Chains A and B, each alone.
Chain A
Amino acid sequence: MEEWYKLDHAGKLFPAVANKENSSAYRLSMMLTKPVNPEALQQALDKVISRFPLLNVELRNGLFWKFLRERDERLLVQPETVYPCAPVHLADRHSSLVRVLYYGNKISVEIFHALTDGGGALEFLKTLVFQYLRQLGEKVDDKEGRILPPASFATYAEAQDSFKTHFKPASAKRKAPEALQIQGTRFVPHGHHVIHGFVSASRLNAAAKGVGVTITAYLTAILIMAVHRSTLSLNTENRPIVIAMPVNLRKQFPSSSLRNFFAVIPIGVAMNDHLTFEQIAETVQRQLTEKTAKPYLSEVIAGSLKYENRLFSRLAPLKLKDLAIRYGFDHYGEEAKTLTLTNLGKVDVPSAMASHIEAMETTMYPTAKSPINCAVSSINDRLTVTFARNIVESDVIMHFFRQLVRLSGLDVAVAGNDWGMGA
């Protein structure tokens, strides 16, 4: 493998927009059934990191683009001490873009989004936990071929920028209208308050099927209702509620890349008090079906790549590009969405490994204009809905879980980190 990498298309965005209020670092965690042994975790990391060379890198400036360079320093596991998805220190030459954390029974990886998306990060976490269990002497194997073997080699294809592979010129989407924005009081000191809701995945699936939609559409519809209810008096301009949803492009476009390869689709509803839950769910499902189809996603890729491919853009100095990216992110990305909901889906791990895992959680960092974000993932029939917020107000989250209980009738358990609550 080479010792440096160009940033992939999506990865070029995050270094330009990352700051204290937008850490661009997301978290994936696995809650194990036994307390984590830090020494064994470090040994596992030492073995696994060479399988994922793209994650042991540092960010450097070029004249036209930033790039990633392999780090000389050893990546160390750390005890979890600060709030989830805290900013990475881009200016610090010795700081890593990946954190491997442990607390109690939980192993977490926090990854700066310029390196990879949730799909790549999940592969890393699965392999890390697999190797960790082996270090402990547990008899785990992967007969089903559900993880990347720690002793295998990173392939050329895994480092490819699949956006470029699958780019086809097409008409770009027009600028989306401004969406309703959630306002709130920022935590002082700044931090992320996280709340997890745990529910049976199969029962939730049955409840969703009861109204003829998928779990993603079901949860999105509830979220839209919760936002509407929480912002009734504030949405005087009757702006649509738009949920930005990252879509894993590997499902539609063949790719074995472990780098970023996702598109963000907007699922929007102009709410009024007469819309029923079933109507909202149907609208969401229709949009999801249309916008996760290949033709739509091809247009999204084309629209996203058209600026980057222009010679003028490529030859513009890095600082000028950063300014343009920040402007585009603020005015075309952040203002066009209310919040983000990302569904990592059902996490498949080898059956011998599954019995060691109690739960899986994904945490999506909030940003200045999207102060609440939601992430969903499931393992062993336990689905976790995680909200991360940087504002004191929890109305949206409260209404979401109340509606979820009321509509599905399921048993929901909640836990959180109580950041900013003085507890």
Chain B
Amino acid sequence: MKCVSCEVRVDAVHTVCPLCRRSLDRHGSRPVNRWYPAYAAAAEEPSAGGLTSRWLAFAAMAVICVALFINVLSGHDVWWSLYVVPCVLFAWLFIKHTVMSAAHPGAKIIVQLLALSGLLLWIDSLSGTDWWSANYVIPFMEMAATALISVICATKPLRLREFAGYLLTMIVLGFMPLLLHAAGMSQVLWPSAAAALYAALTFGGMWLLADKGFRKEVKRRLHY
């Protein structure tokens, strides 16, 4: 059938011209499209966040706004809301990323470690300059997280390939407390040094004890 407007021949499956959308004088049954299947009635896929996720974000934002509002109106001699806000944000991240998301367990451990470190540093800096977080808590959290991923890898050798990237990231993060110390944000050296040593030993142990796959994985993950 020819479209008289476009002067092109239109495949028999079409009842209107695909170019100008004018009707074609077709008679008889409509053949099956040779080129494409009939698509199932498609609906717009829900966004990655989903409704629950949006409600969660709204709830977190509402709590933050209310806290700031009350704090400002009730006199701001004490900025207690500055403690509330990061705690709410951490709770939001915990529920959204660690509880609700399908992210890799290794990614969840690392995100939790980084978020908790940030939260503690913030609270620490607000409550004075003792730097208890950078002195002790963060280095030990680093070691605990590295140990956790190492144990997961050790229990099932097949998981090494899956977790190797996260383990390498943890090894790199193990040197972060030393950087905080160098930046003057912690005064006690030994926990930071211990975290770095633990990271280095983990790397050395994996390099020597794990199979060739780990060394290959290191090469893959760190190629530049």
Contacts and interface: CB of A to CB of B under 8 A. Distances in A.
Interface in A373-423: 394, 397-398, 401-402, 405-406, 411-419, 421, 423
Interface in B12-32: 13-21, 32
Nearest to A311: B224
A82 interface: yes
Contacts of A197: 8
Given A405-B6, A412-B9, A60 B165 contact: yes
Contacts, number: 126
Per DSSP, are chain B's interface residues mostly helix, strand or loop, or mixed? loop
A83 interface: yes
A83 B34 contact: no
Contacts of A294: none
Interface string B68-85: 000000000000000000
Interface centre among B8, B13, B21, B165 (most CB of A within 10 A): B8
Nearest to B165: A61
Contacts of B36: 80, 84, 103, 194, 416-418
A414 B19 contact: yes
B45 A62 contact: no
A418 B223 CA distance: 45
A229 to B, nearest CB: 14
Given A414-B8, A416-B14, A64 B37 contact: no
B34 A104 contact: yes
Interface in A282-318: 314-315
Interface centre among B7, B19, B224 (most CB of A within 10 A): B19
B156 to A, nearest CB: 15
Interface stretch (A174-182, A185-193, A256-264): A185-193
Nearest to A82: B39
A106 interface: yes
A63 interface: yes
A189 B43 CA distance: 6
Interface string B26-53: 0000001111110110111100000000
A378 B170 CA distance: 53
Contacts of A79: 37
